[in-house]
Amino acid sequence: MKSKKIIVVGSTNMDMVVKTDHIPAPGETVLSGAFFMNPGGKGANQAVAISRLGGEVVFITKLGNDIFGKQFSRLFKEEGIDTSYLISDEKLPSGVALITVDKAGENSIVVASGANAQLNPEDIKNALAEIVDAAFLLVQLEIPMHTVEFVIDYAYRHNIRIILNPAPANNLSADLLSKVDLLTPNEKEASDISGIKVNSIESAYEAARIICSKGVKKVVVTMGAMGAAVCEAGNCYLVPSSEVTAVDSTAAGDVFNGALVVALSEDEDLKAAVTFACEAAAISVTRMGAQSSIPVRNEVIAQKLHQKKTSSE
């Protein structure tokens, strides 16, 4: 029987977060009331989310040989993540993200990639046997595109189900898209890939259909408080999000992707998996930080039960 193992290939950053009333305009200085550091990076966030939500995860990433790199290595082990394929770069520092969060929970992020920018195909080769044994590959775009293309091509040739979170936005070839089982863009990324401005549920459906026409089997467009627009086999529908008071949306997309692949690895259908992912992401936006905001499985189950109880009253 094939394992339920999930391979995550992606970035690791130390997030440096400033909380402000509003995100500064160009040339504007804003005084802040809060600053903190929190482990982050899209790949790392997704790997942590998978582990906390009950998935079996192997994380492939590149760290600097510095204090942050050593801290990440320890934290991943404490999270129960398989760290057999953490690579240390002797020249470049670990990645850093500078994040501003406003009072509505919206954020602006600048990333200094550091060692993430040197996660190359050569670094992946030691893990190829691990990838072949996995059920799912989850990748994002905070690492070099040629590495993304290499690992997706390898997984595709070995019939591994591929989920691509196309963030941050980048040019994606038709060849790459044709190998992806499930694409999970947000509204801006869906707009960039499809050429359709996504600003409503209907436009999200239209964009998702166009993306599917490029060869992607299924598309889930994450839409924040509205939930997620799903398109599979020509059928599009909305999975609504739970109503919460957002304080920080920094890692919401990563929590969504981690939860989504966990549910799929447990043989849930796509609608049920997206519902689980929306519930997990809704919890995360009620908390500050990236990995500090990621819920554990029991919290998501408790929220689901609460939502059912509330809707029946």
Render pLDDT for 114-147 as a digit per residue (tens, 0 to 9): 999 999 999 999 999 999 999 999 999 999 999 9
Q: Chain-centre distance of CA 231, in angstroms? A: 19
Residues 175 and 120: their CA atoms lie apart, in Å, by: 20
To the query of whether residue 254 is one of the catalytic residues in this protein, the response is yes
> Cis (ω within 30 of 0) for the bond into 24?
no
Q: Between β-strands 57-64 and 161-164, what pairing exists: parallel, antiparallel or unpaired? A: unpaired
Q: Lowest-confidence range among 78-92, 185-199, 223-237, 295-309?
A: 295-309
- Tokens coding 201: 């549920």
User: In the chain, what is the straight-line distance between the N-terminal and C-terminal CA atoms, in Å?
Assistant: 43
Q: Determine the Cα–Cα distance for residues 37 and 60; give it in Å rounded to an integer.
A: 23
Residues 6-24+32-308: name the CATH superfamily. Answer: Ribokinase (3.40.1190.20)
pTM here is 0.91
Q: Which of 102, 153, 254, 269 is catalytic?
A: 254
Q: What is the chain's alpha carbon radius of gyration, rounded to the nearest angstrom?
A: 18
Q: Where are the domains of the chain?
A: 6-24+32-308
Asked if 180 contacts 149 with a C-beta cutoff of 8 angstroms, the reply is no
Q: What is the mean pLDDT of residues 169-178?
A: 93
What is the DSSP secondary structure assignment for residue 286, as one 8-state letter? T
Q: Cβ–Cβ contacts within 10 Å for residue 311, how many?
A: 7
Q: What is the DSSP string of 72-110?
A: HHHHHHHTT-B-TTEEEESSSPPEEEEEEE-TTS-EEEE
Before 144, cis peptide (omega within 30)?
no
* pLDDT tens digits, one per residue of 218-273: 999 999 989 999 999 889 999 998 888 888 787 899 999 999 999 999 999 999 99
- Do 247 and 289 form a contact (C-beta atoms < 8 A)? no
pLDDT category of residue 1 using cuts at 50, 70 and 90: very low
Banded model confidence at residue 296, pLDDT cuts 50, 70, 90: very high
pLDDT band at 307 (very low <50, low <70, confident <90, very high): low
Residue 24 per-residue DSSP state: P
For the ranges 21-35, 44-58, 185-199, the lowest mean pLDDT is seen at: 21-35
Q: What is the average per-residue pLDDT within 270-287? A: 94
**Candidate ranges 96-110, 188-202, 244-258, 292-306; pick with highest mean pLDDT:** 188-202
Both structure tokens of 86: 């953490």
Asked whether residue 99 carries a pLDDT value surpassing 90, the answer given is no
> Please, what is the average pLDDT of the chain?
92
- In degrees, to the nearest 5, what angle opens at C-alpha 191 toward C-alphas 145 and 165? 40
Please calculate the CA angle 107-112-82 and round it to the nearest 5 degrees: 90
